[in-house]
Amino acid sequence: MGLNDSLPDSLLDLLADVVVVADADRRILKVNRSFEKKTGLTLSLVKGRDFKDLWTEPLVLVDDLFSSGHPQSGEARLEMPGGEIKHFSINLTLQNSEEGGPVRLLAVLHDLEESENTTARVGVDALTGLP
């Protein structure tokens, strides 16, 4: 797959986790349906914005990603349109050109509240509701 090829939107939209694709200047190019569903933000609102501007506090993971070139993982907080703060686990990876320079940033985020709810449900008997 060459650099001009990209994952089809339909494939990204199959993923339950949030996906954001940005260029080497960190400008958002694409988001999947889960991004729109879980954040309340649409591609038209975020396209072209700096990826780091989405978060409620500076996301140093992005700087670490570009300076080291190695994938980064951590947590991030996003302010929703209604003011609610959502917490995500975040995994960042760079796609590099054949020459080795960054071409795209790929971010995969998982809603931590969903993880907590799933963990709570797993520990409860479905029939009785008891732990």
Q: What is the pLDDT of residue 123?
A: 57
pLDDT tens figures, 4-27? 456 677 888 899 999 999 999 999
Contact by Cβ (8 Å): 96, 69? yes
Q: Is pTM beyond 0.75 here?
A: yes
Letter string b/e over residues 2-40, b meaning 16 or more CB atoms within 10 A of that residue's CB: eeeeeeeeeebeeeebbbbbbeeebebbbbbbbbbebbe
Tokens of 60: 């140093």
Q: Is residue 3 pLDDT above 70, yes or no?
A: no
38 φ, ψ (degrees, to nearest 5)? -85, -20
Q: Which domains does the chain show, CATH number per domain? A: 9-122 (3.30.450.20)
